[in-house]
Structure 1
Amino acid sequence: MAALHVGNNERRREFLVLGNPIDQVSAAEGIAQSGQLAASPEAMSILSKSCTLKGSFSSSNPTVIACRNKRYFEPNPDFQVLKKKPKPWSDRIRHLSRNAIGALRHEMSLYVHPAARAIASSSAQNSRSIIADAEIRSVYTIFVKPIIDARIHGTKSGDDHLFALLNDIMGITCKVLEQFRGHLRQFVVDDKGVVLIATFGQRGATFPNLVAEKGLPCTIAIHDALKINLDIGSQIGATFGKAYVGIVGGARRHEFAILGPSVNLAARLMSSTENPGILVDDAIKSMANKRFDFLSHPPVRAKGYSSLVPIFEPQSEIERQWNKLSCFVGRETELKRLVGLAKTILSREKGKDNAAQANREKIERDKANSLLCLIQAHSSLGKSSLAMQAMDHIRRLGSHYKKEVTITKNVCKDGEQSVPFCVFRQIILRFLDERISRNEDDSAISGVTMFDLDDENYSLMEEPTYYYDDVYFHHIRELCKELNCSEGFAEMIGEKMLDLRINSKSSSAAAKLKPDEVVDFVTNVILKCTSQSDFVLFALDDVQWMDSLSWKVVEMLLRRGKDLMILCLSRPLSINTTTIDPILLRELQEDKCKGNKHCRFTNIELTPFTKNDVRALFAASIGCDGQQIDNELCDYIYEQTGGMPYFAQEMIRGVIQDDMIRWQDDGIVRWRSGLDSSPQQALRSSMNDLILHRLDHFNSEARLLLQVCAVLGHEFTLSELITVDCHCKERKQKCIQNIHDTLRKACKEKILLEIFQGGSTTKQRSSYCSNEEEDAVVVEKVDDRIYAFSHAVWRNCLLGKYIPDLFRLF
């Protein structure tokens, strides 16, 4: 058993106790029913020295030793308990100076919740008021479980590493909470593992738009910080609801607690086996703004809730489009190249006094101030997975070199080639969000300050219509002033490029924006917003659909950026089929062909997996070593899929779901005995055949509906689908029900993803409908959900196989 202090002398400290006795207590508590007392076998051996035990007791399992009116042991009268009266605290600190006592008081206060410190200070003269000072408040609760092994082993090297890791977890979490002005409630190590509990909403942590601006961003930031700085995954549960906030216990022993159904639900979400990283309840989804999207998870039944509680996984729109990184194998050479490019920038040392060294560094920087890396491959070859893995490595590399790394991602969509600045519009809005979050005076823009609201309304305040447009425009004007642009230019940028609703316009508004001026402005804004970072990475997916003006911005960033890397993902490009400037593309290719070690352009073309890669993918899917996969099984998957990663993954998933393999006695995974001599008959021999086999689970009407979904685009809304599909007013209700059934089944088959935007649930009418059509297309009793194909392969197959003419058009 070990006891240690974690934290520091500035933010927060905790006293942890960990070891086998904690597990013993958990096991004993697990068998005890209401009113019973259970003891572990180890505790029974100690108890037997001072008591006479009645009956027989297990030597390997916990045992009940007492209940309400009975006990199964008798104290031994000859056994004496040492009664040593503790020395009063006043005697222990009497010799200390006033300064020493003040320092001791400060250190002791770090072990207490900040809200409890305020209660203790205001009630120092009245112990009864300390106990009674409690209230019911709306609290945002975060339960964090870092995925580590917290068992002590009794070896100095191993245990010291664990203790240091626990301290680092504490420090990183407190640093993020301090950034968002939240509080750490508790840090414990128990049978569930390492658990940190953080809160917003109690005294000292109440803010306008608490969920959208503080709680939810902080939750995501804690998850990312643990991964980036310590390479530790985590499971987080977060909820928002009414809770008791105050002190529990008696006058001599009490602690600050936050109790309520939402708190219990947060702990349950954290511990869920289905937790992909972060899970939140419906209250958080409803109060989040539209910067966040949410993937739906099965609802749960929880104590204190009258009905099933909807559960969601939060993610930004861009994170959702890039998908999650899971089961990554292969691509070692390509990954090493990408990380190596970033390392050339991150490994540079700054602040050298030696003039010659400084001059050499300047020459090196001039050679490769900014880099463009283009990853080209056909769909399903794993471009996004490789990029996500590289970004994960680069984040950790930045942490290793103690450098500030900024990574910004976006996805180009088909049909956006004619939309000016389609990529960088979202990037600028994201930079504005970060600028807003750093500015403490934003609340004054809307005329509302923290002091105008009572505690209960801090987190419940709703912004007026176009509130965020006003905030964005305020910061656009500030940026234009800093860049010496006119007020009229700021208004045109806000209205025409960023699509902001501007309430009042000045007489100096420009009549027309010149493309070159806007390209220069966008470039300047990006360089200014990233000027504090040591390394900047822009990751742009599907750039074959990027518009020509966005390519101009890329060109300007390459010429003027410093410590900048642009990672572009694309299907195979050609000068005739892309909007990229042929001169830029030729210049970059010539730069590479010179053989210069410091060239600005790197081209990576992905090829199908090798047989060993397929073996590694199969092994990762079932959690075993690659050598345990039978050669015949591996060869068949490789031959049928041609090494296409997505196809191989889908076929492996089908093999596992259909229970076609089994572990043999020799530890090798082979085809299950009893199958036909040709198990190939049970599988599909091409990607389209596999996709069509899955689609055949739907009836003809449902398949037709999925075709309509494919025509609407990679993403579509429920109201758009209803508008297109529900033609007959008399069949409206039945049509809507059929749509819901089909979409629900498609989500279950992992063909579609169901996405919810942050914000309260309201009835909405499609913007495409006239008043006369309104009754036929209103989505009743549901919010306007967004659906997206889980992979482009599904949409391409629906368009290509069922609608070849439309496929050629797209």
Structure 2
Amino acid sequence: IGATFGKAYCGVVGGTGRGEFVVMGAAVNLAARLMYSPRNNGILVDEAVQAHADARFAFQSLPPVEAKGYDKPVIIFEPLHAVPSSKRKSNSHGHIGRRKDVEKLEDVAKHIIEDPNPSQTIMAFIIGESGMGKTTLGNCVCDSIRRFVALHSKRMVVARSTSTETEKRIPLSSFKKIFLIAIRELCLYDGTVSIQQEEQRSAGPPRMTRRGSIARIRGRRMSMRGHSPSRIAMSKRNLGRNDSMASSNSNGQGNVPYLKKLCEVCEELQYPFEFADIVGSQLLSLEGALPTTQVEGRVPSLDEIVDFLTMAYIKLTEFADLIVINLDDFQWIDSLTWKVIRLLCARGKNIFLMGAMRSKETQALRRMSSILSWHGEMQSRILEVPLGPLELSEIKEATSRVLDCNDSIIDDALCTDIYSRTGGLPVYVIELLEGIKRKKTVAIDEESGKLRWTKEAQREQNRIGSNRVADIELSFLERFDALEPTVRSILQTCAVLGMSFAFSDVVRVHPDVDESEIGLSLNAAVDELILVEDIEDEDEDDLSLWSGDESLMGNSRATTNQWTMMEDRFFQFSHAMWRKSVLDKMLKEQKMDLHRQIAEGMEKEQVLIMESSDIGRLLTLFDHWKSCADFSKAAPLALAVGLRLEEWDLAAQSLDVYRDALEMCYESAERNEEKGG
């Protein structure tokens, strides 16, 4: 087989007396040449096919061949094997440029490591517009710090959490994953759970082995066996499921005893054990925690809960020489997390906290200013890292990396054009370069030996004129329109679900679509760099969160056909701009219909008990009913959530929920008046 990609003529050739229907063109000639090539062991492809399928298959490069219709020898490839989904490349091209900013943040961690008696928490705020590369910079710094710590044989706890706009009302939503990681790392350090035990557990059946069709999970709950805090925290978002997450360990065989460790911390800090139950059941959703809200007959104040969480976190991480907390989208952290962070600033030591936030988010800026005014000594411990556009040298580096060429052959004029078209915004730069790679709009000039625009591309540059950023934004929509209808439909559902979601969520919303087709659609979106699949690193500790004693789970669970999170897949949009582009293409009625389907699916999945259901799930359900303007469904949820928030002294958040419900009421009344008129 010879497979090529290009334009071809398809039609009748010949006169009226004698003609035939043919497909002809340079790409057809090349395919025929590849088919009969002596090097062909089964299938050969050209560079265009290889570029489209690179994420899904591994290829071997072969010597170029001469072909009719091509001025130069054509590079060809032989596909070797399919790449498993767990091994596919991320859409990220890694960190590009900003060396000074990386070094500035690295120096903070090095100072803490080298200080024999560290006694202060240091905060760094990475500030920039959306698309400026804040997340990539934070991840790059964490990776660099890991290497430095390993080189000096020090102990480190690093945790990253991403806040979302939809979760900013959920108490401790931004800090939950960070707290769970601290417990896990302590268990690994003190031997409660050994690396050898985890390796033995991992040596069992392959993680991704399916035990049945995912179709079985429609309308059923998930279990949380065998997954790390990062995967659990992500799963908790998906449709707001109220799932148990962790339990104490009865036999110590490769399980993280989250609740048991929390009780031990209570004992060491001389707190009543009820604090472990309150935090475990209400904030961390730990299996086995009693659903209580009282300590010795009274509800503890929010300040008491914050004090316990802060001291518990310090106690859990006191074995480490360095603690790095990386909070992405800092502008959306919930108020309870913010209170814990403030107290960590005052009491913590050897903690390096990074917060990435948008420069025009007033709430985040107020919080940053409040730290400075709250304690004068904090002024020397606050580091601001503002991010601006990429420089020309950094754009050349990005071009070299995306187009896989030596930067010495890249023409400076090309980099200048890319800068003028994108404004140096990293997300636009990468999008433009990916478009160049797909469309092959640059080529090496024979005279100068430099990489420049092709003649057709240069004419297009002249046509675009000054409205170039708008043209880049249009390219997002053009790429979306070029997708198959099924892929577009699935992506629209994903956009309504949020920035991150699970495969099982999409299956629930589309019960009429075969799950294999949904999987192929999501894979196509990943290959187009619209989505990123969340793949846990092989070296990441993936510890079981359930007790080893199955009998503790109850007979009802043992007899229910349940699936595990090992069978699910998790995705997120590669950038918020992609989600925005997808949502912008949807009609208002279409969005409302999807929100309604999601809400109805959540209600079918589990009976809601307003007084005891997870507050995060209730808020998620409220947001979906609110988005489809169903006041009769949203109002009871608003009352239940508001009362729960008031129990935690979160009056401002409670009022926000009530205000949203009242606005729905007014809008509903106005619509009824218009219909009546």
TM-score category, normalised to shorter length: 0.5 to 0.7
- Secondary structure of residue in 2 paired with 1:343: helix
Tell me the residue number matched to 1:797: 581
Q: 1:435 to 1:572 in 2, by over 3 A?
A: same
Tell me the residue number matched to 1:375: 126
> 1:355-392, CA deviations, whole angstroms, 9 ceiling, x for partnerless residues?
xxxxxxx7xx66xx221111111111100121122223
* Worse-matched range after superposition: 381-390 or 664-673: 664-673
* Contact in 2 for aligned 1:491/1:509 (Cα 8 Å): no
Shift of 1:468: 4.1
Q: 1:312 to 1:704 in 2, by over 3 A?
A: closer
Tell me which of 447, 454, 472 is aligned to 1:672.
454
Gaps of 5+ in 2: 1-56, 61-78, 208-222, 226-243, 249-256, 537-541, 545-561, 593-622, 628-677
**Equivalences for residues 150-161 of structure 1 within 5 A:** none
Tell me which of 317, 320, 336 is aligned to 1:549.
336
- Aligned residue identity for 1:546: I
- Aligned residue identity for 2:282: K
* Worse-matched range after superposition: 696-705 or 528-537: 696-705
Q: Partners of 2:205 and 2:509 in 1: how far apart? A: 37
Tell me which of 365, 387, 390 is aligned to 1:606.
387
**Taking structure 1 as the reference length, what is the TM-score of the superposition?**
0.48
Tell me the residue number matched to 1:711: 496
Q: Does 1:384 align with 2:384?
A: no
Q: Does 1:753 align with 2:532?
A: yes
* Contact in 2 for aligned 1:300/1:310 (Cα 8 Å): no
- Secondary structure of residue in 2 paired with 1:329: coil
> 1:706-756, CA deviations, whole angstroms, 9 ceiling, x for partnerless residues?
223211101223343344345xxxxx257x676455334322212123457
Q: 1:519 to 1:392 in 2, by over 3 A?
A: same
Q: 1:582 to 1:402 in 2, by over 3 A?
A: same
Tell me the residue number matched to 2:571: 787
Tell me the residue number matched to 2:144: 393
Q: Partners of 1:602 and 1:619 in 2: how far apart? A: 32
**Equivalences for residues 620-699 of structure 1 within 5 A:** 620-665=401-446, 666-672=448-454, 677-679=459-461, 686-698=471-483
Q: Does 1:344 align with 2:123?
A: no
Q: 1:579 to 1:703 in 2, by over 3 A?
A: farther
Q: Percent identity?
A: 26
Shift of 1:527: 1.2
RMSD: 4.4
- Secondary structure of residue in 2 paired with 1:336: helix
Q: Partners of 2:375 and 2:405 in 1: how far apart? A: 44
Shift of 1:784: 4.5
Q: Partners of 1:486 and 1:692 in 2: how far apart? A: 56
> 1:321-342, CA deviations, whole angstroms, 9 ceiling, x for partnerless residues?
xx78744332133223212323
Gaps of 5+ in 1: 1-270, 275-298, 302-307, 315-319, 351-361, 444-449, 593-598, 727-731, 761-777
- Secondary structure of residue in 1 paired with 2:247: helix
Q: Does 1:312 align with 2:59?
A: no
Q: 1:545 to 1:571 in 2, by over 3 A?
A: same
Q: 1:575 to 1:689 in 2, by over 3 A?
A: closer
Q: 1:587 to 1:608 in 2, by over 3 A?
A: farther
- Secondary structure of residue in 2 paired with 1:408: strand
Q: Partners of 1:562 and 1:467 in 2: how far apart? A: 30
Tell me which of 347, 372, 375 is aligned to 1:560.
347
Tell me the residue number matched to 1:427: 178
Q: 1:746 to 1:621 in 2, by over 3 A?
A: closer
Tell me the residue number matched to 1:437: 188
* Contact in 2 for aligned 1:707/1:799 (Cα 8 Å): yes
Q: 1:698 to 1:500 in 2, by over 3 A?
A: same
Shift of 1:419: 1.1
Q: 1:504 to 1:653 in 2, by over 3 A?
A: closer
Q: 1:739 to 1:578 in 2, by over 3 A?
A: farther
Q: Partners of 1:654 and 1:457 in 2: how far apart? A: 41
Tell me which of 264, 279, 296 is aligned to 1:478.
264
Give the number of the structure with larger relative contact order, counting CA–CA contacts within 8 Å between residues 6 or more apart. 2
Q: Partners of 1:546 and 1:701 in 2: how far apart? A: 35
> 1:624-659, CA deviations, whole angstroms, 9 ceiling, x for partnerless residues?
443421133222211111101111112112112222
User: Which of the two has greater strand per residue?
Assistant: 1
- Secondary structure of residue in 2 paired with 1:612: helix
* Contact in 2 for aligned 1:541/1:569 (Cα 8 Å): yes
> 1:27-85, CA deviations, whole angstroms, 9 ceiling, x for partnerless residues?
xxxxxxxxxxxxxxxxxxxxxxxxxxxxxxxxxxxxxxxxxxxxxxxxxxxxxxxxxxx
Q: 1:503 to 1:458 in 2, by over 3 A?
A: farther
Count residues in correspondence: 447
**Equivalences for residues 67-216 of structure 1 within 5 A:** none
* Contact in 2 for aligned 1:660/1:672 (Cα 8 Å): yes
Structure with bigger gyration radius = 1
Shift of 1:612: 2.5
* Contact in 2 for aligned 1:371/1:565 (Cα 8 Å): yes
Q: 1:738 to 1:397 in 2, by over 3 A?
A: closer
Q: Partners of 2:224 and 2:99 in 1: how far apart? A: 51
* Contact in 1 for aligned 2:442/2:457 (Cα 8 Å): no
* Contact in 1 for aligned 2:532/2:572 (Cα 8 Å): yes
Q: Does 1:530 align with 2:317?
A: yes
Q: Partners of 2:134 and 2:325 in 1: how far apart? A: 15
Q: Partners of 1:676 and 1:424 in 2: how far apart? A: 50
Tell me the residue number matched to 1:357: none
Q: Partners of 1:400 and 1:324 in 2: how far apart? A: 29
Q: Partners of 1:589 and 1:657 in 2: how far apart? A: 54
Q: Partners of 1:631 and 1:804 in 2: how far apart? A: 45
Q: Partners of 1:504 and 1:722 in 2: how far apart? A: 33
- Secondary structure of residue in 2 paired with 1:312: helix
Shift of 1:663: 2.6
Shift of 1:623: 4.0
- Secondary structure of residue in 1 paired with 2:175: helix
Q: Partners of 2:157 and 2:201 in 1: how far apart? A: 36
Q: 1:510 to 1:741 in 2, by over 3 A?
A: farther
* Contact in 2 for aligned 1:492/1:509 (Cα 8 Å): no
- Aligned residue identity for 1:672: T
Q: Partners of 2:570 and 2:201 in 1: how far apart? A: 32
- Secondary structure of residue in 2 paired with 1:608: coil
Q: Partners of 1:555 and 1:272 in 2: how far apart? A: 49
Q: 1:579 to 1:511 in 2, by over 3 A?
A: farther
Tell me the residue number matched to 2:161: 410
* Contact in 2 for aligned 1:487/1:509 (Cα 8 Å): no
- Secondary structure of residue in 1 paired with 2:417: helix
Q: 1:686 to 1:586 in 2, by over 3 A?
A: farther
Tell me the residue number matched to 1:502: 288
> 1:232-273, CA deviations, whole angstroms, 9 ceiling, x for partnerless residues?
xxxxxxxxxxxxxxxxxxxxxxxxxxxxxxxxxxxxxxx977
- Aligned residue identity for 1:642: G
Q: Partners of 1:513 and 1:547 in 2: how far apart? A: 19
* Contact in 2 for aligned 1:548/1:579 (Cα 8 Å): no
